[in-house]
Amino acid sequence: MRLSQALRTSLLLGKCLPTVKQNCSRIAVKRYEYDDFLHTYFPKFNIMYAHDPEKMCKTGDIVLIEELSQKLTTLITHKVNKVVYPLGDITDPITGKKVVGVKIDLGKVAYRDDLEEEDELYGKNPRRKFKYSEAPPRGWQEDKKDFTHRESYIKYHEFDDDDQPYAVYK
């Protein structure tokens, strides 16, 4: 399949990146390119702009984008269909459970439900301090540590004396 054919599919899955454009989001779509010499696939990223006037996705979200029937501009060729996985809430697509991480000694995935069940069966683990059931939802640190909702701008160099907290490096 050629590059142009792969990008013309109607639905694509990608990661939202910071952008300076209004009413759109910048999406990194991962595809794999075959190397004839090494006989293996290597990841390549295509950057696309998707129309997002409602600001549904934030930086770091995994989103589903859909191709527009007619281009809005030369850059904006898709629209954001839905946010599949918000940043920080990892969900197993097969079971639908929330994932905590991987148990290194067992080599299997640890789910939030399983940790709560282990606490009920064996008692509270003293090393486990964080409680997922009491954790606030994403967005509670807006304007404290999370500035993804702010309007960003392009910063072309790092040696500027001005403090520019919402800059996106070119």
Residues 133 and 117: beta-carbon distance below 8 Å: no
Which CATH number fits the domain 3-88, given the four candidates 2.60.40.1180, 1.20.120.530, 3.40.630.30, 2.40.50.140?
Answer: 2.40.50.140
**Residue 93: Cβ within 10 Å count:** 7
DSSP structural state of residue 69:
S
- Distance in angstroms (rounded) separating the CA atoms of residues 79 and 66: 5
48 token code pair: 């696309």
pTM: 0.67
Share of the chain above pLDDT 90, in %: 26
Domain boundaries, the chain: 3-88, 99-134
Q: Which residue has the higher pLDDT, 16 or 87?
A: 16
Q: Which residue has the higher pLDDT, 9 or 135?
A: 135
